Amino acid sequence: MSTEERTALISGQDDASYSAVQPAAKKTKKITPLPKMQIFTLLYISFGEPLAATVIDPFIVQLVRETGITGGVEARTGYFAGAIESLFYAAEGLTVLQWGRASDRIGRKPPLVFGTLGLAAAVTTFGLSNSYWPLVVSRFMQGVFNGNIGITKCVMAESTDSTNIATALSFIPLQWGLGITFGPMIGGLLSHPAKTWPNTLGKIAFLRDHPYFLPCATAALIPLSAFIITSIFLKETLPSAVARQKKKSQEGVSLPPSETQSEVDVAVDEPPVPFSALMTRRVLVPIINYAFLAFVEQCSSALLPLVYASSIGVGGLGLDSFTIGLLMSGLGIGIGLSSTLISPVVLRKLGPHKTYRIFFMCYLFTIGCYPIMNALARRAGGVDIFVWIVIAAQLGCITLTVMNYSCLFIFFNDSAPTKSTLGAVNGLAQTVACSVRIFAPVTASSLFSLTQQHNLLGGTMVYWILFACVFCGSYASSKLPKHLKEDDETEE
C-alpha cells in the first residue's frame, strides 16, 4: 500500500505552493519541470517499502509451520501467520503519526534516512529468524520503520507546485504496484534454495540452515540502497530546516541585515503548532474520506483472489493459481499505465474534487461484478467468454481507482494549517488508513464466508454491505472542498 518536488526548494515560493493541482482555470499556467533526482529518490523509497512488506507472502505459511508454534495443528497456521501479517500494519499505524510530527520538527530528510536503514535491518533480521517470536519482533520493527511513508508525500508536495504535483503523485501507485509485484516474486523464487536451487545456492550450508534469509536479504538491498541514495541526493524541504541550514552557512560571515535574513530568523523561530490545530473541518474531512477509501479498497482487494479462486458453487469462479497470477500481473501493469498516463491528465482537467467523486463510485461497479460473474459462471457451468468480458471490465475499472489516492494526497497537502504541520497531517491520515487496513481484509473475507455458508440474500449479502459503505463514502466525498486554498488566493 501508498507512496507520495518543487523546482526551487521552498525559497521563492509562496505558502500555497505546496498545496495541490489546480483545475482548469481562466489562465493556463506553464507546467513547471519536475526536479528529477528528488522525485527519483522519493519513488525509490516508495518502491522499497512495499517490496520489503510483501516479500514474505509466498512463504509465511510454511515458515510459521516450521517454527513449531502451531504444535502440529495445521488449522492454527492461519491464526499465527495472520498475526504476523497484521503486526506490520499495526506497527505502522502506531508510529506513522510520530514520524510525521518528528519530520515537522527536525526536517524531512533525517527520518527518511533513518527509516530506510532501519527497514533494511529489520527485513534482514526476519530472514535470520528460525523461531516464531523473533519473527514477530522483526515484523513489528518493519512496520515501525515503514511508518515514515507519509513523509515521502510531504517532500513530494514541498518539492512541487500546483502545475506538476499531479504528475509527481501519479508515480506513487506505479512504484507501489511494482513493489507488491516483485516482492512476492523474490520471496517465491529465492526461499528454500536447497529445494529450489539444489545444484547452486542449495550447496551453501548457511542458506540451508536459514532457508528464508536469501529472499529477505535480497529485498533488504532496496531500502539499503535507498538509504545511500537518500543520504547523498535528497534535498531537505521543511522550511524551518532549510532556514536553519541557511543560518548556519551565514554564521561567521559579516553581512548587512536583509529581508532574506529576517525570513530565516522567522522560519527558525516559528513555534510548533499544537496537535489540536489539526482538528479542523478542512483537515478531518479528507482524512474521513481516506478511511472510507482504505476500507472499501482493502475489502475489494481481499475479495478479488478469494472470489477468483473459490469454486463456482460457493460464489467464486474456480480459477487456478497460475491464471490468477497472470490476471494480477496484468492488473499491476494496468495500474502503472493508468497512474502515469491517465491520472495526471484527468486531475488537471477536472481537479481533485470532481475526479475523486467520480472515480470513488467505480467501486460500485468493481464490487458488483463479483455476483454477476458468479451468476454467469453458474449458468454456463464454467468460465465462458461472457465471464471473461466481465473480468476484463472489472480489472480495467480497478486501474482507474488509483486516481482516488492522488486526489486525497492533494487534499491532505492543501488542508495543512501551515507548512510546519504538513508531516503531522499526512501522519494522521496514514494512521487512520493503517488502522482501517488492519481489520478490512478479515472483515471482507469473513463476510464472504458467512454469506456463502448460510446463503444470505442469495449469496450476495457481503456485496450489499460493501455497496452501503461505498454510498456512505460517496456522501463523505461531497463534503470535500470544491476549491483549494491556492485557487481561492488566485481569485483574490
pLDDT band at 78 (very low <50, low <70, confident <90, very high): low
Confidence of residue 259 (pLDDT cuts 50, 70, 90): very low
CB 83 within 8 A of CB 74: no
Which run of H or of E encompasses 212?
A: none
pLDDT higher than 70, residue 203: yes
Across the chain, what does the average pLDDT equal?
81
- The pLDDT score that the predictor gives to residue 292 is 95
The tens digit of pLDDT for each residue in 84-133 reads: 877 887 888 888 888 888 888 888 899 999 999 999 999 999 999 889 99
Is 21 a residue whose pLDDT tops 50? Answer: no
**Per-residue pLDDT band at 372 (split at 50, 70, 90):** very high
Looking at 71-85, 200-214, 342-356, 472-486, which range is the least confident one? 71-85
> What does the DSSP assignment read for 89-105?
HHHHHHHHHHHHHHHHH
Q: Which of the two residues, 396 and 13, has the higher pLDDT score?
A: 396
Is pLDDT larger for residue 469 or for residue 419? 469
- Of the segments 138-147, 185-194, 331-340, which one has the largest average pLDDT value? 138-147
State the average pLDDT over residues 395-411. 89
Give the CA dihedral 330, 333, 335, 340, nearest 10 degrees: -160
Note the pLDDT of residue 73. Answer: 66
Q: Which of 3-7, 233-237, 480-484 is the least confident region?
A: 3-7
Q: Which of 230, 237, 241, 246 is nearest to 106 (CA)?
A: 241
Query: CA-CA distance, 355 to 25, in Å (whole number)?
Result: 16
Question: Is residue 62 over pLDDT 60?
Answer: yes
pLDDT at 321: 61
Question: What local confidence, expressed as pLDDT, does residue 8 receive?
Answer: 37
Annotated domain spans of the chain: 36-247+261-491
- Residue of 20 and 437 predicted with greater confidence: 437
- The confidence band for 27, taking pLDDT boundaries of 50, 70 and 90, is low
pTM given for the model: 0.70
User: What dotted CATH number matches 36-247+261-491?
Assistant: 1.20.1250.20
CA dist list (Å): 471 to 223, 258, 460, 477, 481: 39, 55, 17, 10, 19
Q: What is the mean pLDDT of residues 192-214?
A: 85
Range 167-185 average pLDDT: 79
